[in-house]
Chain A
């Protein structure tokens, strides 16, 4: 996962929209973003212990008047299904979620369409493909969460569009990070 997205620019995009908190757990791809947030004077970083906490905590922040952004890896997305369903989705929380797309490159290399629904245990056992990646977009679709892969060079536009859609539709929106921040 070569570093492509500027952590500082992503953070400034969030702050320009009024974000108050970054909530989540870093992965290798988002480590630079977390490090930028940790030392930034205008955003509060809340590190959780499991990804499900991030959605409940962010929902509470929004109820209290905050404007959080959640950042987790797709492995944690799979762990946090009930928390996401029972808080941010069911409460209708406008919430920008950055999801690290671990294994995206392995799907690319194997020629698998990201919208492919793994319909057999054989697919999920393929040694050449990260099964987390196989399940990421189908999981977001099952939870009714609109999502897009962050495109290098279009970060600010995509963040603004996702943030505004989340507000307009009272729902979480996910941007998938197939490349690392730096």
Chain B
């Protein structure tokens, strides 16, 4: 099982011009690490469970750019059909990473339905993802990140991360994470401008 830093630091160190959509328990931790906040969008103050399909839309419109969705496990369960949509769309530039902590962390770590028995990578593989991986070991994860950023996809990744204590997410000017200091309306336009700039 990885700590949040063990999960996010290798990604933050190697990220260049990938667009990244975050949601739930990694919204703030990623916001503290990112060096390209203009290429990040937090699916917070947004729609329940729709970070992956939002990221897919960006990927389809930007086929030359890698797009990464840092999705929650609870969020993924809300829209499992998106696994089929991603495969059916033919997007080759999307990496869908499920942050698997087995709980609804934002509301106090209540366990997910099926926590501990769900095989997310198995579900993704059955949906037709050509590559569906699971990681529980920090070193194996760190070793795999370069290829995830390089290889054609779509790629599905399930990373087991220890539950944390992230609380509800708000968009306010005093937020530490830059992408939470503006409204969702403005954040969408910041990313749009960065993608075209």
Tell whether A and B belong to one assembly: yes
Q: Which residue of A lies closest to B56 (CB)?
A: A57
User: Does B16 make an interface contact (CB < 8 A)?
Assistant: no
User: Does A147 make an interface contact (CB < 8 A)?
Assistant: no
Do A64 and B195 form a contact, CB below 8 Å, given A49-B82, A59-B57, A90-B185? yes
User: Does A108 make an interface contact (CB < 8 A)?
Assistant: no
| Binary CB contact string for chain B from 1 to 26 against chain A (1 if under 8 A, 0 otherwise) | 00000000000000000010100000
Mostly, the B contact residues are: helix
Q: Which residue of B lies closest to A90 (CB)?
A: B184
Q: How far is the CA of A55 from the CA of B53 in the complex (A)?
A: 9
Quick check: B60 and A44 within 8 Å, CB to CB? Answer: yes
Quick check: B61 and A60 within 8 Å, CB to CB? Answer: yes
Quick check: A65 and B192 within 8 Å, CB to CB? Answer: yes
Quick check: A66 and B61 within 8 Å, CB to CB? Answer: yes
User: Does B41 make an interface contact (CB < 8 A)?
Assistant: yes
Quick check: A57 and B85 within 8 Å, CB to CB? Answer: yes
User: Does B131 make an interface contact (CB < 8 A)?
Assistant: no
Total residues of chain A contacting the partner, CB 8 A = 34
User: Does B81 make an interface contact (CB < 8 A)?
Assistant: yes
Which one, B41, B54, B184, contacts A57 given CB within 8 A?
A: B54
Do A53 and B85 form a contact, CB below 8 Å, given A65-B196, A86-B47? yes
Quick check: B59 and A64 within 8 Å, CB to CB? Answer: yes
Do A61 and B57 form a contact, CB below 8 Å, given A47-B88, A49-B81, A49-B82? yes
Quick check: B185 and A91 within 8 Å, CB to CB? Answer: yes
Quick check: A60 and B47 within 8 Å, CB to CB? Answer: no
Quick check: B54 and A59 within 8 Å, CB to CB? Answer: yes
| Binary CB contact string for chain A from 77 to 94 against chain B (1 if under 8 A, 0 otherwise) | 000001111110011110
Quick check: B81 and A56 within 8 Å, CB to CB? Answer: no
Quick check: A83 and B85 within 8 Å, CB to CB? Answer: no
Q: How far is the CA of A61 from the CA of B41 in the complex (A)?
A: 14
Do A60 and B54 form a contact, CB below 8 Å, given A86-B47, A90-B45? yes
Closest Cβ of chain B to A89, distance in Å, is 10
Q: How far is the CA of A68 from the CA of B56 in the complex (A)?
A: 13
Quick check: B188 and A59 within 8 Å, CB to CB? Answer: yes
Closest Cβ of chain B to A175, distance in Å, is 21
Do A87 and B60 form a contact, CB below 8 Å, given A47-B88, A49-B82, A92-B188? no
Q: How far is the CA of A61 from the CA of B89 in the complex (A)?
A: 12
Q: How far is the CA of A33 from the CA of B134 in the complex (A)?
A: 40
Q: Which residue of B lies closest to A23 (CB)?
A: B57
Which one, A63, A85, A170, contacts B58 given CB within 8 A?
A: A63
Q: Which residue of A lies closest to B48 (CB)?
A: A82
- Provide the residues of chain B in CB contact with A47, threshold 8 Å: 85, 88
Closest Cβ of chain A to B15, distance in Å, is 18
Q: Which 5 A/B pairs are nearest by Cβ-Cβ distance?
A: A60-B57, A64-B61, A86-B47, A49-B81, A56-B50
Further contacts, 14 of them, CB under 8 A, given A48-B53, A53-B82, A60-B59: A49-B85, A53-B53, A53-B81, A56-B53, A57-B85, A61-B60, A63-B61, A63-B192, A64-B19, A68-B57, A87-B47, A91-B184, A91-B185, A93-B188
